[in-house]
Chain A
Amino acid sequence: MKQKIVNRILAVVLTIASLLVFAGTNMAAKKLFLVTTLPDLASIAKAVGGDHVKTFAIAKGYQDPHFVDPKPSYMIKLQKADMFIQVGLDLELGWVPSLLDGARNPNILPGAKGYVDASVNVPLLEVPVGDPTKLRAQGDIHVYGNPHFWLDPLRGKIIADNIYRALVRLQPENEADFSKNLQAFKAKIDQKTREWTERMRPYSGTKIVAFHNSWPYLEERFPFDIVMFIEPKPGIPPTPKQLVRVIKTMKQNDIRVIIIEPYYSKKSAELVAAKTGAVVVELAGSVGAQPGIDDYFDLFEYNINKLIDAFKQAGIQPRATED
């Protein structure tokens, strides 16, 4: 009887072992599997990697990238990943570390070949100065600088460079393809950015109000002017007092447009709009934020269209361009 049980256990062990061997040989798939935190990174990685890569983005484009739940199902994706790409600068601090811990994949840990911090070499805005232990009194401040840098297409080229280097590390045999894709991506970015800038030029310097401080890089590239935020401090929900201040400023400066991220309640922005007659525009913070924003280029196309529509709707007169 006992023997029978032992034999049965052994049979199970054997089956599992052979399954593992099978799984092991299967691992040598040809396409690299890239897992990214945000869909924007996935889109750029897809552009550079081309047919050699498969991508998966953990956060959806309409999700708040600061607050993503580290669901165990994402660990399974990371466990199978050849490369992991994150924005960095502590943007994903609340959820990426526990995902990496649970994934048991040493090849994508910080410092390993398959790890990419997209912020490497990116010139940053709003890098705080002063005693870091006092920064949280200012709300959700990122100690290394504002992390929303993918919202500048030219900085997107630096992200592409970072991903390119990692792809070459993993698949040096495809260097020529990656290099060709990278150049094509950069050329398209340059050409498109010229177009977008041209379209925004008549509205350059237009004063607007934003809900949260996600837009300094977009603001710098297509120069409009964010005068103030509806949040009193980053991450702190709007107070009536702050709304009063916003309304006052908007009236004084004749500000007619409010921009907001898709993941915040529009209630307070609409309240302010009702008092000031301003237009509330929901911009896209990431690829996938709205249907039709399928890649990194769509993201800017969408935001530029939305902004120009809002400026027109608010009756802001385009200025004649000087040149």
Chain B
Amino acid sequence: MHQKFLFLLVFIAGSIILAAPLQAQQARKDTTRAAKTDSTEALDEAELEKELARELGLLAGSETDTSVTPPQTSAPAISGSIARAGSVLNPRISVIGTFFGSGTGNQAVARAVDVGLSETEFSFQAYVDPYTKADFFVAFGREQEDPFAGPDEEAANLSEYEAELEEGYLTTLSLPFSLQIKAGKFLGAFGKLNSLHPHAFNFVDYPRMYVNYLGEEGLIDRGLSINWLVPNPFDLYQELTLEITSGALGGPAFQGNSKDLLYLLHLKNFFDLNDNTTLELGFTGMQGPNGLERYKTRMGAVDVTLRWKPLRMNRYKSFELMLEALASQYETAAGIISSKALFAFLRYQVARRWFLGARYDYSEFPDDSEHNEKAYSAILSFYTSEFQKMELQVQRGIPAWGDAFNRILLRVVFVIGAHGAHKY
């Protein structure tokens, strides 16, 4: 009896979900039809389109309107100016270079001074067709010394550059219900920082929380990401993301085991407090294999970003506060290890091109909550233009094992080619 009832419910729910886009489409059609009074020709077109859709076995609602519109010709002045004929159909290409320098005291690393080009990132972005967009990020990078790693760590190979596909994914453009699907290899929707590339960070090194839990490059994995703009009557930006990825990360908290996948759920909330101030509040839940047979790690995280920037003089003054914290449960044969980590970052713009920042890091380890490391950093940034910035960071590090140390980090980030849009 119960089962039958259940089946009925599923059937009704299913048919409503399937019918919804159809109905929406229908409603839209109906009004156009009503509006196009006497235009029988248009009416026939709509009928014909529906008929063809039926013939082709397509659900009318799932088909987006990609009808041809008269080509919008470019201004005459353009054609005669810069000849870019050969490159017009190329994807948008940019190269982002990072020069890096560090000086570490107290013999915390094998090589106290390290200077050189640390990473070069190539990006290629373009629309594939009316349905998808493709993004590729290829990086040539080299290892860096980690003074937190402890005295037993072997020295990093500082001279060899390795190519890596940082990200490569397709994104859908026209799914109904404000859904978007991303497939490929991509940065996970964990917290706030993880979805940015390191050159966009406002400090030189990854926060310890990321290094100790997700790995030296944060959470990057292969799989599927589905996200949905949650409709709500307040017109609030609320985005729900579900990611199912291979779990073969090789990070400290998660390691692949060929059987289990990594599941991530992220809810992003965005509030305009007033014209000049915004608040972003994110929640992440994650579960995946930790590499010990079929044991798992579960993680919960919260991220808060508060920004103030006056609209009128938006290039002279601004303020930003960022806070991320996580709690992790790491299963082992001997029981569950609960640990936590956080970082807080503050940045104040003192002049058109100058910024001052401060960061505090506290991190335990997924498999060890008895030990922790701390770091205190001060950061000075200078932007020569929108295409180049210089950052100087001084840091006091207190590793879990080994002595406290001071270090200076310096980097110059620059971009050539198509200047991609910023994320907010």
Is the pair A27, B81 in contact by a Cβ cutoff of 8 Å? no
Which residue of chain B has its CB nearest to the CB of A121?
Answer: B75
**Partner pick for B20 among A21, A28, A117, A143, CB 8 A cutoff:** A21
Is the pair B312, A106 in contact by a Cβ cutoff of 8 Å? no
**Partner pick for A143 among B39, B82, B133, B179, CB 8 A cutoff:** B82
Given contacts A106-B66, A121-B75, contact A67 B314 (CB under 8 A): yes
CB B6 to nearest CB in A, in angstroms, measures 7
B352 at the binding interface (Cβ < 8 Å): yes
Given contacts A24-B24, A106-B66, contact A93 B421 (CB under 8 A): yes
Residues of B within 8 A of A (CB): 2, 6, 9-10, 12-13, 16-17, 19-21, 23-24, 27-28, 30-31, 35-37, 39, 64-67, 69-70, 72-78, 80-82, 84, 130, 133, 171, 173-175, 177-180, 229, 231, 235-237, 239, 268, 270, 272, 275, 278, 280, 309, 311-316, 352-353, 385-387, 416, 419-424
Given contacts A69-B309, A106-B64, contact A21 B19 (CB under 8 A): yes
For B66, list chain A residues within 8 Å (CB). 106, 112
Q: How far is the CA of A27 from the CA of B82 in the complex (A)?
A: 43
**Residues of A216-235 contacting chain B, CB below 8 A:** 235
Given contacts A7-B6, A98-B423, A235-B385, contact A120 B229 (CB under 8 A): no
CB A250 to nearest CB in B, in angstroms, measures 23
CB A52 to nearest CB in B, in angstroms, measures 11
Is the pair B175, A104 in contact by a Cβ cutoff of 8 Å? yes
In the assembled complex, 17 residue pairs joining A and B whose CB atoms fall closer than 8 Å, in A order, are A19-B231, A69-B314, A70-B423, A71-B270, A76-B229, A95-B422, A98-B422, A101-B133, A104-B178, A104-B229, A111-B69, A112-B66, A117-B72, A140-B386, A144-B81, A263-B314, A265-B313
Q: How far is the CA of A171 from the CA of B9 in the complex (A)?
A: 41
Is the pair A24, B21 in contact by a Cβ cutoff of 8 Å? yes
CB A84 to nearest CB in B, in angstroms, measures 13
Q: How far is the CA of A97 from the CA of B127 in the complex (A)?
A: 12
Is the pair A128, B229 in contact by a Cβ cutoff of 8 Å? no
Is the pair A172, B27 in contact by a Cβ cutoff of 8 Å? no
A306 at the binding interface (Cβ < 8 Å): no
Given contacts A21-B16, A173-B36, A265-B352, contact A136 B387 (CB under 8 A): yes
A13 at the binding interface (Cβ < 8 Å): yes
Q: How far is the CA of A263 from the CA of B315 in the complex (A)?
A: 8
**Partner pick for B237 among A13, A75, A122, A144, CB 8 A cutoff:** A75
**Residues of A227-246 contacting chain B, CB below 8 A:** 235-237
Is the pair A14, B65 in contact by a Cβ cutoff of 8 Å? no
For B81, list chain A residues within 8 Å (CB). 127-129, 144-145
Known: A28-B31, A111-B69. 9 other contacts (CB 8 A): A17-B17, A62-B311, A71-B270, A73-B237, A106-B65, A121-B75, A171-B35, A173-B35, A173-B36
Is the pair B311, A63 in contact by a Cβ cutoff of 8 Å? yes
Q: How far is the CA of A19 from the CA of B237 in the complex (A)?
A: 18
Interface size class of A (residues with CB under 8 A): 35 or more
Which residue of chain A has its CB nearest to the CB of B5?
Answer: A7
For A111, list chain B residues within 8 Å (CB). 69, 72
**Among all A-B residue pairs, the 6 with the closest Cβ atoms:** A24-B24, A106-B174, A72-B237, A98-B421, A97-B421, A124-B77
Is the pair B229, A17 in contact by a Cβ cutoff of 8 Å? no
CB B350 to nearest CB in A, in angstroms, measures 13
For B174, list chain A residues within 8 Å (CB). 106
Is the pair A106, B133 in contact by a Cβ cutoff of 8 Å? no
For B130, list chain A residues within 8 Å (CB). 106
A179 at the binding interface (Cβ < 8 Å): no
Is the pair A104, B179 in contact by a Cβ cutoff of 8 Å? yes
Is the pair A124, B78 in contact by a Cβ cutoff of 8 Å? yes
For B133, list chain A residues within 8 Å (CB). 101
For B23, list chain A residues within 8 Å (CB). 21, 24-25
Q: How far is the CA of A177 from the CA of B93 in the complex (A)?
A: 44
Is the pair A14, B420 in contact by a Cβ cutoff of 8 Å? no
Given contacts A10-B9, A119-B75, contact A132 B84 (CB under 8 A): yes
Is the pair B17, A28 in contact by a Cβ cutoff of 8 Å? no
Q: How far is the CA of A19 from the CA of B20 in the complex (A)?
A: 10
Is the pair A123, B76 in contact by a Cβ cutoff of 8 Å? yes
CB B388 to nearest CB in A, in angstroms, measures 10
Is the pair A17, B20 in contact by a Cβ cutoff of 8 Å? yes
Is the pair B270, A73 in contact by a Cβ cutoff of 8 Å? yes
**Partner pick for B173 among A14, A106, A121, CB 8 A cutoff:** A106
For A64, list chain B residues within 8 Å (CB). 314-315
Q: Type the 1/0 row for A1-38, where 1 means its CB is closer than 8 Å to any CB of B.
A: 00100110010011001111101110110100000000
**Partner pick for A28 among B9, B28, B236, CB 8 A cutoff:** B28
Q: How far is the CA of A233 from the CA of B117 in the complex (A)?
A: 29
